[in-house]
Chains A and B, each alone.
Chain A
Amino acid sequence: MKLTTILIVAFSAASLAPAQTSTSSAPGTTAAANPMVRHVIGLDKIKRNATGTLTVQDGALEFQTGKAGNKVPVSAIDDIFIGTETTQSGGKTGTVMKTAAIAAPYESGKALSILMRTKVDILTVSYHDPEGALHGAIFALPIGQAAPMRAQLIQAGAHTSPAEKQLSDRSKP
């Protein structure tokens, strides 16, 4: 009986261990590559609301979608701002679902507004092009990922004003 119990515990521990390892390593990978970043506005070659990866490499901030990419040299960055925003999850599918839910009886579709809300970090990068023209690129990142990205950019040599002046949690769900 005891042997059976020990075996069960041992198997359970063995099966859980890799799962826990992979779960704990996932945020690290996500933080490095930021795979679910939404481009709100500001990059010339990228469409608005395109989702892609945001990375800092070879002295540039790079946003890469499936088809297109855009690089901003870190030396051209004038300032970086971070904030938070509560928005709707689900992308275009979410919008379609919410529009369809308007037809639901007794206004029950409004429950979707509560279920489909999500909080995101907003990263605003102010930079200038070779002609000196000012640009502002705005990205929506998964919550908690804007600050590490900002830190990476500062480490790479981006100019910025003090963080305490910029960080504002003004999100109203």
Chain B
Amino acid sequence: MKSRGIFILIASCSLLAAPAIVSAQTAAKPQISASAIQIAMVETGDVQIPAEFRFAIYERLVERVGASGAFHKVYRTGDRAADGIPDLVTLHTKVEGFKEGSQTKRELTTVLGATRVDVTASVTARDGKLLMDQKLTGRVRFFGENLGVTNDLAKRITKLVSAAF
């Protein structure tokens, strides 16, 4: 009877303490501040990926990061207007793996034919300091054409960048 009471007490204390722990974790997360971001062209290294996928990832990133509102201004690669921004950060995307699936297979079987792109997304400051670095995967599993993988990937990268800044 006594042990049951202790158990209930401990459980209650844990429940009450849980939000405090969560808030402490949230507060501990460092927020990086930058007014502008430049989206670098997707790097492929040795991975064979068609040009339309590279450009689609790049274009969707420009679109989605701009729409997220995390930065006042989003610049593209090569934009001379970005040269004078002191707190400019740069988003780099490097393709680590690519597997092109088949839309027909996906729609007929629902388990085969997935398209996937593995990337490493990193954000660097103007002085080259690494501010964020994470591996991500974009997928198309059921419906949609193979190029749809670029949308999924851009969505994930934008979410990550928005959370960090």
Residues of A bordering B, CB below 8 Å:
40-42, 79, 81, 83, 85-88, 98, 110, 113-114, 117, 122, 124, 126, 128, 131-136, 138, 166, 168, 170, 172-173
Within 8 Å by CB of B80, from A98, A131, A170, A173, lies A131
Q: Interface size of B by Cβ–Cβ distance < 8 Å?
A: 31
A132–B75 CA distance with the chains assembled, in angstroms:
11
A128–B76 CA distance with the chains assembled, in angstroms:
10
Contact B80 A110 (CB under 8 A): no
Q: Taking A136-B59, A170-B100 as given, write out 7 further A-B residue pairs in contact, using a Cβ cutoff of 8 Å, ordered by the A residue number.
A: A40-B56, A85-B147, A122-B50, A122-B52, A124-B52, A173-B102, A173-B104
| Minimum Cβ distance to chain A for residue B115 (Å) | 9
CB-CB under 8 A from A170, the residues of chain B are 50, 100
Interface contact tally, CB-CB below 8 A: 86
CB-CB under 8 A from A172, the residues of chain B are 100-102, 105, 113
Contact A131 B55 (CB under 8 A): no
Contact B102 A41 (CB under 8 A): no
Within 8 Å by CB of B59, from A41, A85, A166, lies A41
Contact B145 A87 (CB under 8 A): yes
Residues of B bordering A, CB below 8 Å:
41, 50-52, 54-56, 58-60, 63, 75-81, 100-105, 107-108, 113, 143, 145-147
> Which of the listed residues A42, A114, A168 has the most CB atoms from chain B within 10 Å of its own CB?
A42
Contact A124 B51 (CB under 8 A): yes
Contact A110 B108 (CB under 8 A): yes
Q: Which chain A residue lies CB-closest to B143?
A: A98
| Minimum Cβ distance to chain B for residue A40 (Å) | 7
